[in-house]
Amino acid sequence: MIRLALIDDHPLILKILRQDLSKETDIAIIWETTSPDEMYSHLREAKPDVLVLDLFFGGQGFEPVTQVHDLHARYPAMKILILTAYDDPIWIAELIEAGVHGYVVKSDDFSLRLAEAIRTVFQGRTFLSLTAMQGLMTSQQRRTLTSRERAVLRLAAEGHANPQIADILGIADGTVRNHISNIYSKLDVTTREEAIQVARRMRELPTMNASTRHELRTPLHVLLGLARLLRAKLSSEGALSSEQHEQYLEQLIAEAERLDGLIEQLVP
């Protein structure tokens, strides 16, 4: 039996994953959470064989590459499988280099491949969904910045000030300033904004539209997942109760409205 843990910031995605994996007789979900902070308390109580991890936790001060390095140091036997809407080749290469055992892009019909991915990484082999494999093939390059410098600059690009970056990465404020100074020197720039722009052009950082694509795709994936849940319920039970009917309708409407609002906000 493969002991599995799930971490995703969207409760409905977790519900969809539970439904998709419930029919797998060799996979047992031992816990799940929407919070990276809760992840370590869960890990202390029950360590899974495979940890399925998203890359985005809005407003929770999460830097994926740093977290992967930390998880490897603390739990070297645990396999880490990334399941995310982020498909930028820079993210894919960065996480593979950091030591994740698999990377599945949600748009690659993850419901049909997730169990296969879990079994593959559990056996010690690498699993890449089609988009992740293509992204990794196109991302090979010689980098100028170190992994830690890229982490600092990613957080700066998200709008975090130096003290926040220091707190997220678990380093001193002065160390962040030293990293920023080294970044300026290596990229031959004098401001944070210039450093971010140059790093993106050099493909040291994901493109600006990577986050936009993620924001738009997340509610779309939830809508598709809800449709699968409805189909499974109707197939097994023949009909929905009035309570279930109302619950699914509310969820579908909420996600459709969220997607519509994001399109209005992000695509003028």
Q: What per-residue confidence (pLDDT) applies to 89?
A: 85
Q: Determine phi and psi for 128, rounding to 5 degrees.
A: -125, 130
Closest listed residue to residue 145, CA positions, set 160, 156, 130, 161? 156
Position 215 scores a pLDDT of 64
Q: Which residues pair with 84 in a beta bridge?
A: 105
- Which pair of structure tokens corresponds to residue 16? 């969809």
> What pLDDT is attached to residue 159?
87
CATH number of 147-201: 1.10.10.10
Burial of 262 (0-12, 13-18, 19+ CB in 10 A): middle
Q: What's the CATH number of domain 2-138, 3.30.499.10, 1.10.1040.10, 3.40.50.2300, 3.40.50.300?
A: 3.40.50.2300
Q: Check residue 77 and give its pLDDT.
A: 94
What residue spans in the chain does CATH classification 3.40.50.2300 cover?
Answer: 2-138
The pTM of this model reads: 0.76
- In the chain, which segments carry CATH 1.10.10.10? 147-201
Kindly give the interhelix angle for 89-98 and 130-138, rounded to the nearest 10 degrees: 90
Angle at 139 between CA 120 and CA 122, to 5 degrees: 10
- What is the per-residue burial (b if ≥16 Cβ within 10 Å, else e) of 14-29? bbbbeebbeeeeebeb
Pick the CATH number of 209-266 from 1.10.3470, 1.10.287, 1.10.8, 2.40.50: 1.10.287
Cα distances (Å, whole numbers) of residue 181 to 6, 11, 162, 204: 38, 40, 12, 16
- Listed in order, the ranges of the chain carrying CATH 1.10.287 are 209-266
Residue 243 has φ and ψ, to the nearest 5°, of -65, -45
Average pLDDT over residues 115-123: 95
Query: What pLDDT digit, counting tens, does each position of 223-240 carry?
Result: 777 777 777 777 777 777
Residue 115 clears pLDDT 80, i.e. is over it = yes
> What is the CB-side half-sphere exposure of residue 83 using CA atoms within 13 A?
29
